[in-house]
């Protein structure tokens, strides 16, 4: 039986994130899945200390908190839903604290690349023009923990539980939850000018190219009768920075050499900082 893990990224009881996560899980349950629900703010998560032991030495993180329990729950789930609010234009701190610890997945990258698991990211913001960057962070969170076949939906409503007033939205989320139980599925069709990897709609621009700052995917900027269109070249096979395959490449090609460079200069760095130590 498929097990679907729901993650709530808000401390607000019966807030919109909780309602959306529960609704998606209901859809999954009605399609035969076993479900479980976890509120991220109930976990004890320490900030990453940047020792790089997990990424470079592939050793367990030295911090003693709930990250190992969370990783076990994510590794044993067949699919996951993450629902969280926008807080000051980004993801809430509870989500970002865990994202910052994502390199802890490096020892498991071989396991994660074997089977793409489905995920569903649901962001909820008070106002569409104030939505900021939360949604692609939620997609990145799921990808980093091995849920690479990701669907997403941005929702807009401020008051706690107000999503319940929108029948069409609730129906849609129920259906997206049901889809998490399907073994195979084509990736969602990306909206125009939205990054197909991390679902971001913000880009850095240079000459005729747009780059997604979240996952590094590039697009050619085309000028059409309807305005600007971003043409993503999927023939490159590039999956983005934060999928397990992308993360492995990043660790091997950049993090490990940067560690070696630091070690070669460690004494010099120490000597150069003496005037700052008083």
Binding segment (CB under 6 A) for ligand FMN, from list 119-127, 165-173, 223-231, 264-272: 119-127
Contact flag: residue 87 with ligand FMN (CB under 6 A) = yes
Cα separation, 147 vs 112, whole angstroms = 8
Six token digits for residue 15: 């807030």
Nearest CB to ligand FMN, comparing residues 160 and 188: 160
Q: Vertex 233, ends 227 and 235: CA angle to 5°?
A: 155
What gap in Å lies between CA 137 and CA 102, rounded to an integer?
12
The yes or no reply on residue 148 touching ligand FMN (CB under 6 A) is no
49 contributes a contact to ligand FMN by CB under 6 A: no
Per-residue binding string, ligand FMN, 17-36, x by CB under 6 A, is x-------------------
Q: How many other C-beta atoms can be found within 10 angstroms of the C-beta atom of residue 197?
A: 28
188 lies in the site for ligand FMN, by CB under 6 A: no
The phi-psi region of residue 193 (left if phi > 0; otherwise alpha if psi is between -120 and 50; otherwise beta) is left
Number of residues that bind ligand FMN (CB under 6 A): 20
**Rounded distance between C-alpha atoms, residue 206 and residue 224, angstroms:** 18
139, 121 contact by CB (below 8 A)? yes
Backbone CA torsion sign across 175, 177, 180, 182:
negative
Q: Is 190 in the site for ligand FMN (CB under 6 A)?
A: no
Does 165 bind ligand FMN (CB under 6 A)? Our answer is no
Q: Where are the extended beta strands (E) located within the chain?
A: 3-8, 34-39, 79-85, 118-125, 149-156, 204-206, 209-211, 218-224, 227-232
Q: Which is nearer to ligand FMN, 132 or 190 (CB)?
A: 132
Q: Which stretch binds ligand FMN (CB under 6 A): 51-59, 155-163, 221-229, 267-275?
A: 155-163
Smallest gap from Cβ 136 to ligand FMN, in A, equals: 15
**Binds ligand FMN by CB under 6 A, chosen from 49, 51, 89, 231:** 89
Does position 10 bind ligand FMN by CB under 6 A?
Answer: yes
Per CB under 6 A, residues contacting ligand FMN are 10, 12, 15-17, 85-89, 124-127, 130-132, 157-158, 160
């Amino acid at each position: 039986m498929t097990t679907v893990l729901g993650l709530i990224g808000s401390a607000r009881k019966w807030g919109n994130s909780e309602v959306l996560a529960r609704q998606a899980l209901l859809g999954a349950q009605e399609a035969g899945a076993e479900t479980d629900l976890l509120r991220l703010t109930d976990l004890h998560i320490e900030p990453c200390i940047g020792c790089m032991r997990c990424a470079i030495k592939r050793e367990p993180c030295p911090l003693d908190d709930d990250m190992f329990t969370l990783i076990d729950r994510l590794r044993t789930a067949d699919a996951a839903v993450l629902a969280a609010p926008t807080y000051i234009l980004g993801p809430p701190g509870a989500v970002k604290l865990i994202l910052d610890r994502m390199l802890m997945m490096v020892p498991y990258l071989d396991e994660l690349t074997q089977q793409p698991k489905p995920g569903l990211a649901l962001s909820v913001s008070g106002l569409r023009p104030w939505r900021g960057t939360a949604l692609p962070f939620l997609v990145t969170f799921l990808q980093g923990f091995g849920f690479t076949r990701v669907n997403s939906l941005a929702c807009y409503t401020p008051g706690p539980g107000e999503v319940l007033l929108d029948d069409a939205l609730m129906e849609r989320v129920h259906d997206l939850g049901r889809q998490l139980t399907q073994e195979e599925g084509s990736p969602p069709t990306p909206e125009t000018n939205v990054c197909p990897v991390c679902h971001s709609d913000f880009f850095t621009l240079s000459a005729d190219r747009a780059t997604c700052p979240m996952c590094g995917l590039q697009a050619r900027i085309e000028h059409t009768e309807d305005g600007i269109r971003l043409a993503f070249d999927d023939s490159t096979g590039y999956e983005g920075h934060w999928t397990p395959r992308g993360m492995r490449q990043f660790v091997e090609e950049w993090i490990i050499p940067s560690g070696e460079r630091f070690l070669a200069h460690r004494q010099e760095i120490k000597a150069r900082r003496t005037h700052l130590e008083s």
